[in-house]
Amino acid sequence: MAAVEPLQVCVKEAAGVPGVPGDCPFCQRVLLSLEEKHLPYEAKLVNLSDKPQWFLEISPEGKVPVLKWGDKWVPDSDVITQLIEEKYPDPPLVTPPEYASVGSKIFSSFIKFLKSKDPSDGSEQALVDELKVLDEHLKAHGPYIGGENVTAADLSLGPKLYHMEIALGHFKSWTIPKDLVHVHNYMELLFSRESFVKTKAAKEYVITGWAPKVNA
C-alpha cells in the first residue's frame, strides 16, 4: 500500500492547558474515524477561547473540527466522516441505513437534563426513555448499533455517552439506571477500544468544558 500523507485536522485544545486535547465529542468522532481506518493524521490543537489568526483564516466561523481535504479545509464532523469513508472504504464503517438514527436524540436529551433547574420538568425521564430505546436496540441487534462490528453510528454516539456519563455524574450525581444492562455493556465495550482510549479527553477537561453551560 502506498504511503498516505498524514491528514491535518484541527481539534479543540483543553481549556487553559496548551498542547492537550480538549473535550469536543465531534472532534473525537473524527479522530475515532481516522484511528479505526488506521490513517496517519496530524491533530492541530486550537485554543477556542483565544482563536489564533491562522485558524480563523481556515475556519471563519471558528468551529472545530475542520479537516484539510486537498487544498480546502472542510468543517462539520458529518461531512468529514463521510469524506473519509468514501475515500478510504476499508475497513468499512458504514452503518446499516435502518440503524443510522439509533441513539440520535440522546445528546440533546442529555444537554436539556444537564441544564435543567427544575426536577419536575420531565427532562430526566426523557433522557431515560431515549436510553431505554437504545438498550432495546442493543439487546436485539448488538453488541454494537450495527451488530458485530463498530460503525460510524457508534463513533458518533460513543463520545456523547462519555460526556453524558461524566457531566451528569459530576454535576447531578446521576448515573444511568442499572437495569439498562445493554447500554452499560455497550459503553464499556466502546470506551475500552484502543481508538477511544487514545482520543478521549481527560475527565477533568470534560467537566471544565460543561461547567459554563450548567451555570448559565
Could you give the angle at which helices 77-87 and 25-36 cross, rounded to 10 degrees? Answer: 10
Domain ranges of the chain: 7-87, 97-215
SS3 per residue for 99-123: HCCCCCCHHHHHHHHHHCCCCCCCH
CA distances from 216 to 117, 151, 211 (A): 11, 35, 9
- Which amino acid is located at 123 in the chain? S
The active-site residue, picked from 9, 11, 24, 114, is: 24
Which residues in the chain show pLDDT less than 70? 1-3
DSSP assignment of the chain, as one string?
A: -PPPPPEEEEEEBPTT-TTSB---HHHHHHHHHHHHTT--EEEEEE-TTS--HHHHHH-TT--S-EEEETTEEEE-HHHHHHHHHHH--SS--PPPGGGTTTTTTHHHHHHHHHH---TTSSHHHHHHHHHHHHHHHHHHH-SBTTBSS--HHHHHHHHHHHHHHHHHHHHH-----TT-HHHHHHHHHHHTSHHHHHHPPPHHHHHHHHHHHHH-
* 97-215 is classed CATH 3.40.50.450: no
Copy the grid coordinates of residue 216. 448559565
User: Does 97-215 match 7-87 at the fold level?
Assistant: no
Considering the chain, what is the average pLDDT of its residues?
96
CB atoms within 10 A of CB 189: 17
What is the pLDDT at residue 2?
A: 52
Active site residue 24: yes
Task: Indicate the pTM of the whole model.
Answer: 0.96
Return the pLDDT at 138. 98
Which class is 7-87 in CATH? Answer: alpha beta
| Per-residue pLDDT tens digits for 165-194 | 999 999 999 999 999 999 999 999 999 999
